[in-house]
């Protein structure tokens, strides 16, 4: 089994973090290339609600990643993680629902970006379901340490997610201030 080969214990925290580490780079490419570089969504008034879903996603995933690597897996942490992952899935669904209207003035949603978003929403649902299933089955022993490379990945994911949220908030605020000044 791949997880055993990589030294990843078959527990809810470890498998969840492993899956997040696989999906996160796809999301980062989507945000950096499509959202910030190509479409400058933060500058599009019609896309502001969609941008808010991206900021929420970064904060939720950042928090979940840091909880997975930096806190003991207590029942409270387990329930908090389940709630965060479910919130991320619902947020992904809202994001996909908002995109067609938010991108109408930009010529629509490119097929590749649409595929990335469908992959992301599906992955978020799969990660949430996997976590909840493993947690319900009791596959969550607190004594199973994460391999050091996966812990490092979790810290990088958490810190990177918060950095990305901060950048998006800064770009959005600056854009709104410029637009407000242009109307004065």
- On whether residue 1 sits in a domain, the answer given is no
CA dihedral 103, 109, 113, 119 (to 10 degrees): 100
CA angle, residues 134, 138, 140, in degrees to nearest 5: 75
Asked, for residue 76, whether it belongs to a domain, the answer is: yes
User: What is the extent of the structural domain holding 67?
Assistant: 10-43+51-179
Distance between CA atoms of 71 and 23, rounded to whole angstroms?
22
In a domain, 65, yes or no: yes
If one counts the domains in the chain, the total is 1
2 falls within a domain = no
pLDDT per residue rounded down to tens, the chain (184 residues): 789 899 999 889 999 999 999 999 999 999 999 999 999 999 999 999 999 999 999 999 999 999 999 998 888 999 999 999 999 999 999 999 999 999 999 999 999 999 999 999 999 999 999 999 998 888 766 657 899 999 999 999 999 999 999 999 999 999 999 999 998 8
Q: Is residue 150 part of a domain?
A: yes
Residue with tokens 């976590």: 131
Give, as one character, the DSSP assignment of residue 38: I
Nearest to 55 by CA among 143, 184, 183, 173: 173
To 10 degrees, the CA torsion angle through 124, 130, 131, 137? Answer: 160
* Assigned domain for 124 exists: yes
User: Nearest-5° angle of CA 50, CA 19, CA 35?
Assistant: 25
Specify if 5 maps to a domain.
no
Reading phi first (left if > 0) and then psi (alpha if -120 to 50, else beta), residue 147 is in beta
């Amino acid at each position: 089994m791949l997880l055993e080969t990589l030294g990843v214990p078959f527990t809810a925290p470890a498998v969840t973090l492993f899956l997040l580490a696989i999906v996160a780079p796809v999301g980062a490419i989507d945000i950096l290339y499509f959202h910030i570089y190509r479409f400058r969504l933060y500058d599009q008034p019609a896309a502001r609600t969609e941008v808010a879903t991206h900021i929420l996603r970064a904060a939720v995933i950042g928090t979940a990643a840091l909880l997975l690597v930096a806190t003991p897996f207590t029942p409270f942490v387990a329930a908090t993680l389940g709630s965060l992952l479910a919130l991320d899935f619902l947020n992904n669904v809202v994001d996909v629902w908002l995109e067609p209207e938010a991108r109408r003035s930009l010529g629509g949603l490119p097929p590749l970006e649409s595929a990335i978003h469908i992959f992301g929403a599906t992955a978020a649902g799969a990660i949430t379901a996997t976590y909840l299933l493993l947690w319900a089955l009791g596959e969550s022993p607190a004594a199973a340490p994460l391999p050091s490379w996966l812990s490092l990945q979790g810290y990088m994911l958490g810190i990177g997610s918060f950095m990305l949220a901060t950048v998006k908030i800064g770009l959005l605020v600056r854009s709104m201030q410029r637009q407000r000044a242009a109307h004065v």
